[in-house]
Amino acid sequence: MTTTSKSSRLDPEPMPRRDFLGLAAMWAMGASAAFALLGILRLPRAAVLPAPSKKFKVALPESLADGEPFVPPGRSVALFKDKDGVYAVSTICTHLGCIVKQSADGFACPCHGSEFHKDGTVKKGPAPTALPWLAVTKDGGSFVVDESKVVDPGTRLT
Amino acid sequence: MSDASGATSGVTAMGRFLANLREIPKTFRESLVRGGAPTTDRTRSSFVFGNVFLHLHAVRTHRWSLRWSTTAGLGIMSVAAFLITLITGVLLMFYYKPYPDAAYVSIKDLHFVVPTGRFIRNIHRWAANVMVVAVLLHMARVFFTGAYRKPREFNWLVGMGLLAITLGLSFTGYLLPWDQLAYWAITIGANIAQSPREVTDALKITEYFDPGGLQRLLLLGSSDVGEEALIRFFLLHVMILPLALVALLGVHMWRVRKDGGIARPDDADARLGPPPADTYPVFTEAPQKTYQIAAIVKGKTPAVGKGPENTVPSMPHLFYAEMGVFMLTVLICTALALVSDAPLKELANPNVPENPAKAPWYFLGLQELVAYSAFMGGIGIPSIVLLGLGLIPYLDREKEGTGLWFGGPGGVPLVLLSTVYGFGTAFALEAFAIRFGWIREWWPDVPQLVITAINPGTVLTALYAGFSIWAVKRWGSTRAGALALFTCFLCGFILLTVVGQHFRGPNWVFYWSPSEWPGH
Ligand code: HEM
Ligand code: FES
């Protein structure tokens, strides 16, 4: 196809007006449908997460030996006490969210066999990362663990 | 009968009223079935294309399509199982309450108190399982008979959508009883949706780009598995997915008809031999109709003067076959429901996982892979498989062997070889990983990305892909490669499912048999 230099128009084959209007109408329709769809998809994405508070108060038993995990009933957190202080390790498996159980020298996950050392680092299995350490603060004679606040491993409350 | 004449001919209005009243059964029947009772081939034809449900079928069906070995009735069996779940599902909704704990109690009531409740629940469960099996086998039948080829490429894609919805329906249904099985399956499922974090975390970009977190949030509607999650799964299970399935199913069946019926080889007529004497040839009745239709139906011109076609009227031949499959499906589901109860474990307990926590059986193959890498097993490899399946009809543009089981270059020997290779490699890899462990057990400090990239699942996928490429070269045909790949994945799927179902016990440890599991 060669464009003729005679024509001063930019488009050598002008589109009939009716085609143009029809196409414009179709694109407008498509664009508004897409826009509406985005709005529709915005709804199921919750902005406020209706979850119970992740903070809880716990007292350590007197008899707890250094380096022994203590799991408060109904919680998925293990608390430890040693000469450097108190710390909390989450017991929610970083693989797919099962609750790990205490094993001889750390934790073991019942779901796909991940194993962790006592400090939460991965020993074996599919878990991609270490069990996170959680923030512990003191409140009178007991401790407050905030499950939603992850701290660097090694952080202890002295 | 014209009503205007009635007034002049002396019959009283009351008389006409009574006559019309008496006629109601007849006039109602006439209004229901246009054109009178279908008693001849011709009226049966117009009955089929005049009826909104029946017109999804062509008026006449090729004898090849009716052979048992062509489809094994698997597509219709999928439809039948779906209809059974639909009816029993509506019944279950009379009592089911989609709220944590209340859900569990309502299922318990259904199971132990409601009259026929347990039977209906069992049928629902079994029909769902039958549907998954039938859909998978149907897909295998379409693949092995090469029925995905032009012009049926798009219907193959529609079918893949149906497969995804079928699995989605089964999975969302698994969660509704809110027992231990349900709770831990939904926890694991939601975390699989989140598993792209395995990669984004390793790359340290999760803060900026977190598709995994978004998927989990959309699924659960909360940061935890709770009432929000249950209502979402309920909505998907009873509303969104069934509607989507019905819509796609309509397209699927319509396309089967519009793509020229069930795929058959070019020489189907020669293979079948002459039609039996009682088959009515096409053009003996009302030939003028045929010419009219020929004006709007594209495709080859009608075979006028070519002698009888090898087709029979869909009514009754096809409909009898479909009814037979339907009855068989009902029989299978009710029989299974009578001998085996749907499971119901303890009430969901967020602190104590079920041990072992097993997904429904058709996901156990994936769970086996997930036990090596959450992202690869749960998202990476399934996506690769779906993409590969979707591409098959667009890559295999060949003609040879369409409509024949294991048709095309390579044929049965290739399928047998692929079966051996598919089972063999999957078996060897599993045995190796179970016996010797995997990378992290040898080098504990290896980065996660290495394990994500190299694990038994990805190695198996690569081995299958390599074999398939070899088959393409060896037979000089894409179809040969597709045959090799599909067969391998089918075998891998079966082997991994069996391992996950039977050989995995508490802590996902290998046991020769469930009887060896340590007591709880
Ligand atoms: C809910 C699931 C499904 C239902 C109810 C269904 C139903 C049907 C039915 C009734 C037929 C007519 C022939 C037959 O009975 O085999 C058919 C044909 C077909 N199906 Fe499906 N199907 C489903 C899923 C699938 C899947 C997963 C695929 C593949 C990815 C697929 C691909 C096809 C194709 C390509 C045909 C045409 C076959 C031919 O012309 O020989 N369908 N389907
Ligand atoms: S959830 Fe712990 S190993 Fe999978």
Please tell me whether residues B435 and B499 are part of one structural domain. Answer: yes
In a domain, B519, yes or no: yes
Tens of each residue's pLDDT in chain B, 520 residues: 445 444 556 689 999 999 999 999 999 988 887 777 788 877 888 888 888 888 888 888 888 888 888 999 999 999 999 999 999 999 999 999 999 989 999 999 999 999 999 999 999 999 999 999 999 999 999 999 999 998 999 999 999 999 999 999 999 999 899 999 899 988 888 888 888 888 888 888 888 888 888 888 888 888 888 899 999 999 999 999 999 999 999 999 999 988 888 999 888 888 888 777 766 665 544 444 444 455 555 555 444 444 456 888 888 889 999 999 999 999 999 999 999 998 888 888 888 888 888 888 888 898 889 988 889 988 999 999 999 999 999 999 998 889 999 988 999 999 999 999 999 999 999 999 988 888 888 887 788 888 889 999 999 999 999 999 999 999 999 999 999 999 999 999 999 999 998 898 888 888 888 888 876 5
Cβ contacts from A onto B, under 8 A:
95
Instruction: Judge whether A75 and B244 are in contact, CB under 8 Å.
Output: no
Cα B159 to ligand 1 centre (Å): 6
Please state the φ and ψ torsions of residue B215, each to the nearest 5 degrees.
-60, -45
Distance CA(B422)–CA(B468), nearest Å, equals 11
The pTM score is: 0.87
The per-residue pLDDT for A6 is: 55
Please tell me whether residues B161 and B254 are part of one structural domain. Answer: yes
Please tell me whether residues B339 and B378 are part of one structural domain. Answer: no
Please state the φ and ψ torsions of residue A74, each to the nearest 5 degrees.
80, 5
Q: Which residues of B touch A122 (CB under 8 A)?
A: 440, 444
Say which of A50, A112, A129 has its CB closest to residue B228: A50
Instruction: Judge whether B348 and B179 are in contact, CB under 8 Å.
Output: yes
Cα A94 to ligand 2 centre (Å): 7
Q: How far is A45 from chain B (nearest CA, A)?
A: 6
Distance CA(B159)–CA(B390), nearest Å, equals 10
Tens of each residue's pLDDT in chain A, 158 residues: 454 555 577 777 777 888 889 999 999 999 999 999 999 888 888 877 766 778 888 888 888 888 888 888 888 899 988 888 889 999 999 998 889 988 888 898 888 888 898 888 888 888 888 999 999 888 887 889 988 888 888 888 87
Distance CA(B370)–CA(B364), nearest Å, equals 9
Q: Which residues of A touch B198 (CB under 8 A)?
A: 128
Tokens in use for B219?
């699924």
Q: Which amino acid residue places its CA nearest to atom 1 of ligand 2?
A: A96
In a domain, A39, yes or no: no
Question: Domain limits at A130?
Answer: 55-151
Please tell me whether residues B214 and B256 are part of one structural domain. Answer: yes
In a domain, A29, yes or no: no
Q: Which residues of B touch A49 (CB under 8 A)?
A: 222-223
B interface test, pick of A38, A77, A111 with most B CB neighbours within 10 Å? A111
Please tell me whether residues B219 and B326 are part of one structural domain. Answer: yes
Please tell me whether residues B79 and B124 are part of one structural domain. Answer: yes
Reduced to 3 states (helix: H, G, I; strand: E, B; else coil), residue A89 is strand
- Ligand 2 pocket by Cβ (under 6 Å): A 93, 95-98, 109, 111-114, 125-127
Ligand nearest to the CA of B82: 1
Mention every residue, 6+ apart, whose C-beta is less than 8 A from residue B407.
B145, B146, B265, B400, B401
Please tell me whether residues B162 and B115 are part of one structural domain. Answer: yes
State whether A110 and B195 contact (CB < 8 Å).
no
Cα B213 to ligand 2 centre (Å): 18
Report the residue count for chain A.
158
State whether B192 and A110 contact (CB < 8 Å).
no
Exposure b/e, A66-91, CB count within 10 A at least 16 = b: eeebbbbeebbbbbbbeeeebbbbbb
The per-residue pLDDT for B282 is: 59
In a domain, B11, yes or no: no
Ligand nearest to the CA of B71: 1
Residue given tokens 């996506």 in the structure block:
B383
Q: What is the CATH number of the domain that holds A83?
A: 2.102.10.10
Q: Which residues of B touch A50 (CB under 8 A)?
A: 222, 226-228
Q: Which amino acid residue places its CA nearest to atom 6 of ligand 1?
A: B75
Cβ neighbours of B337 (radius 10 Å)? 21
Cα A101 to ligand 2 centre (Å): 11
In a domain, B22, yes or no: no
- Is A123 touching B (CB cutoff 8 A)? yes
B interface test, pick of A91, A94, A98, A124 with most B CB neighbours within 10 Å? A98
Give the count of domains, chain A: 1
Please tell me whether residues B409 and B434 are part of one structural domain. Answer: yes
Say which of B222, B356, B508 has its CB closest to residue A46: B222
Distance CA(B234)–CA(B241), nearest Å, equals 10
Mention every residue, 6+ apart, whose C-beta is less than 8 A from residue A76.
A90, A91, A92, A99, A147, B350, B351
In a domain, A27, yes or no: no
Please tell me whether residues B331 and B391 are part of one structural domain. Answer: no
Task: Dump pLDDT digits (tens) for B248-302.
Answer: 999 999 999 888 889 998 888 888 887 777 666 655 444 444 444 555 555 554 4
3-state secondary structure labels for all residues of B43-91: HHHHHHHHCCCHHHCCCEEEHHHHCHHHHCCHHHHHHHHHHHHHHHHHH
The dihedral of CA B181, B184, B190, B192: what is its sign? Answer: negative
Please tell me whether residues B367 and B482 are part of one structural domain. Answer: yes
Q: How far is A69 from chain B (nearest CA, A)?
A: 16
Please tell me whether residues B213 and B296 are part of one structural domain. Answer: no
Q: Which residues of B touch A48 (CB under 8 A)?
A: none
With a 6 A CB cut-off, is B57 part of the ligand 1 pocket?
no
In a domain, A95, yes or no: yes
In a domain, B429, yes or no: yes
Cα B419 to ligand 1 centre (Å): 24
In a domain, B286, yes or no: yes
Question: Domain limits at B302?
Answer: 276-309
Distance CA(B256)–CA(B75), nearest Å, equals 11
In a domain, B441, yes or no: yes
The per-residue pLDDT for B298 is: 53
With a 6 A CB cut-off, is B158 part of the ligand 1 pocket?
no
The per-residue pLDDT for B308 is: 52
Say which of A44, A109, A124 has its CB closest to residue B440: A124
Cα B97 to ligand 1 centre (Å): 34
Give the count of domains, chain B: 3
Beta bridge partners of A79: A70, A88
Residue given tokens 């699989």 in the structure block:
B192
Task: Dump pLDDT digits (tens) for B332-358.
Answer: 999 999 999 988 888 888 888 888 888
Q: How far is B386 from chain A (nearest CA, A)?
A: 23
In a domain, A43, yes or no: no
Please tell me whether residues B391 and B322 are part of one structural domain. Answer: no
Substitution site in B65, B162, B166, B249 for ligand 1 pocket (most atoms within 8 Å of beta carbon): B162
